């Protein structure tokens, strides 16, 4: 949403994937009933960005910007949100931005991102992008494979009761990343260019300017290498004014990247079992045949979803759902009253507990319309050996059954601004949904 107002009927849902190399922006098209990626001024769907703290060999060019906690808000407004504003023809936006995980983002970043709407983890966003092609069921385990600049990330999500998602595990193979793959391809191209033009071995790659040009060209080439039998890397004026045009065959690339492929296969084969496997990230074209060899028919794809755009699409879908959450008249009036001075996020559902032994015993822990984040604590009454966790409003749904409890059990329930539900029993975290 706009940073100064609450959602209205004209508010546009926006999803942003703020990656280590590229930012992607999507808006939700209500007429088509699905999110769409936005093109920047150059006609590309990805806007170049180098994130602070990433150990990259690339050097920012004039059109690239290293984003830090200090300039994040300005970058959002000037570079990223402007794309959404131009596309939607309005500044009335509700924005959901992806983050690797809550643990991986510092408080300063979260504070800035929450000003524009909220955040969601990359794995959850990727899952939402495939919402139309997944038939969820309770107990289903979904493996999200994300290949990007930060490495090969594997996150296992558990489909719990009534659509809740629980993150079961998360692992990263840092050695298999975009930088490593581009370096392998780039050094091979540079070597052939040097031999052809009789430059000393390693001279071109050691040039920061030439290396940056090669990295950009090789990054684009990697996206087509598994579609075509060869990829031609072309760079105007690569070094000393000489153009570079080098063809790399598919068999040669497979030889060059064999070590990284072996590492990736070993990593994937040791992951926990899953019912479905989904891909996201820039390295999906390289990763897909490896994942297929390991997981076979468990790998789900859709011709309408580009995995490199999945996170942005999922964020836009979450933003649209947020905008269409139903609120009571009292809550809407309260939000309207507070709108000029404060942006308030409230719980769209009511959550409580029921005692199976006492049919009329129902306790509301977090009421619909409660300002978020919300945390409540409840001590069990005598004789409560089991309880049920329920969504009470707008539709009654049982979320979980907790048994083998004693009179000294203390429950703590937390609902975040991003809709993540956490439950502790005597201090032990039980559910993340």
* Cα-based angle 377, 378, 379 (whole degrees, multiple of 5): 130
Across 53-67, 244-258, 353-367, 391-405, the highest mean pLDDT is recorded for: 244-258
Across 79-88, 127-136, 142-151, 363-372, the highest mean pLDDT is recorded for: 142-151
Question: What backbone torsions phi and psi does residue 318 show, to the nearest 5 degrees?
Answer: -65, -40
More confident residue, 336 or 263: 263
Distance of alpha carbon 120 from alpha carbon 91, whole angstroms: 22
How confident is residue 334, by pLDDT bands cut at 50, 70 and 90?
Answer: very low
Provide the token pair at 20. 């280590």
pLDDT of 177 above 60? yes
Instruction: Tell me the average pLDDT across 285-297.
Output: 92
pLDDT of 57 above 60? no
Provide the token pair at 15. 């999803």
Q: How far is CA 320 from CA 10, 11, 116, 248, in A?
A: 12, 9, 14, 43
Give me the torsion for CA of 332, 333, 336, 342, rounded to 10°: -90
How confident is residue 63, by pLDDT bands cut at 50, 70 and 90?
Answer: very low
Lowest mean pLDDT among 91-100, 124-133, 278-287, 384-393: 384-393
pLDDT at 70: 73
Instruction: Tell me the average pLDDT across 105-128.
Output: 84
Q: How far is CA 383 from CA 164, 355, 379, 380, 406, in A?
A: 29, 10, 12, 8, 8
Instruction: Tell me the average pLDDT across 183-204.
Output: 94
According to DSSP, the β-strands at 93-99 and 12-18 are parallel
pLDDT at 346: 64
pLDDT at 339: 34
More confident residue, 237 or 227: 237
- How many C-beta atoms lie closer than 10 Å to residue 225's C-beta? 21
pLDDT at 67: 64
Instruction: Tell me the average pLDDT across 196-203.
Output: 94
pLDDT at 33: 85
Instruction: Tell me the average pLDDT across 265-277.
Output: 94
How confident is residue 325, by pLDDT bands cut at 50, 70 and 90?
Answer: low
* pTM exceeds cut of 0.85: no
More confident residue, 265 or 431: 265
> C-alpha 357: how far from its chain's center?
42
How confident is residue 163, by pLDDT bands cut at 50, 70 and 90?
Answer: low
How confident is residue 31, by pLDDT bands cut at 50, 70 and 90?
Answer: confident
How confident is residue 144, by pLDDT bands cut at 50, 70 and 90?
Answer: very high
Q: What is the mean pLDDT of the chain?
A: 79
Instruction: Tell me the average pLDDT across 236-245.
Output: 94
Q: Which of 211, 174, 173 is nearest to 190 (CA)?
A: 211
Provide the token pair at 310. 């999945």
């Amino acid at each position: 949403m706009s940073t100064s107002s609450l959602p209205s009927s004209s508010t546009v849902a926006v999803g942003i994937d703020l990656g280590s190399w590229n930012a992607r922006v999507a808006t939700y098209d209500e007429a088509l009933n699905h999110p769409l990626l936005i093109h920047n001024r150059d006609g590309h769907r990805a806007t170049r960005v180098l994130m602070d703290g990433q150990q990259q060999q690339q050097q920012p060019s004039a059109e690239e910007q290293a984003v830090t906690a200090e300039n994040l808000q300005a970058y959002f407004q000037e570079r990223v949100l402007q794309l959404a504003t131009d596309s939607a023809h309005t500044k009335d936006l509700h924005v959901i931005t992806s983050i690797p995980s809550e643990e991986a983002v510092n408080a300063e970043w979260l504070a800035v991102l929450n000003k524009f709407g909220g955040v969601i983890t990359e794995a959850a966003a990727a899952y939402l992008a495939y919402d139309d092609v997944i038939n969820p069921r309770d107990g289903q385990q979904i493996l999200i494979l994300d290949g990007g600049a930060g490495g090969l990330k594997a996150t296992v999500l558990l489909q719990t009761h009534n659509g809740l998602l629980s993150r079961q595990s998360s692992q990263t193979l840092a050695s298999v990343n975009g930088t490593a793959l581009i370096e392998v391809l780039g050094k091979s191209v540079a070597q052939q260019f040097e031999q052809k033009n009789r430059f000393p071995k390693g001279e071109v790659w050691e040039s920061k300017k030439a290396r940056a040009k090669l990295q950009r060209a090789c990054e684009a080439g990697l996206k087509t290498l598994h579609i075509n039998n060869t990829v031609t890397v072309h760079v105007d004026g690569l070094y000393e004014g000489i153009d570079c045009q080098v063809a790399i065959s598919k068999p040669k690339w497979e030889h060059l990247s064999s070590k990284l492929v072996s590492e990736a296969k070993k990593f994937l084969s040791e992951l926990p079992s899953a019912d479905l496997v989904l891909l996201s990230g820039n390295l999906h074209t390289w990763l897909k045949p490896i994942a297929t060899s390991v997981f076979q028919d468990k790998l789900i794809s859709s011709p309408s979803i580009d995995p490199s755009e999945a996170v942005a699409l999922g964020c836009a879908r979450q933003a649209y759902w947020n905008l269409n959450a139903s609120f009571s008249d009292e809550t809407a009036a309260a939000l309207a009253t507070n709108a000029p001075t404060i942006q308030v996020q409230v719980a769209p559902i009511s959550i409580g507990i029921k005692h199976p032994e006492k049919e009329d015993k129902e306790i509301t822990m977090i009421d619909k319309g409660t300002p978020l984040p919300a945390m409540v604590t409840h001590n069990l009454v005598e004789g409560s050996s089991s309880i049920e966790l329920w969504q009470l409003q707008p539709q009654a749904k049982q979320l979980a059954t907790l048994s083998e409890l004693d009179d000294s059990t203390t429950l703590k329930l937390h609902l975040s601004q991003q809709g993540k539900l956490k439950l502790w029993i005597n201090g032990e975290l039980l559910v993340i949904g």
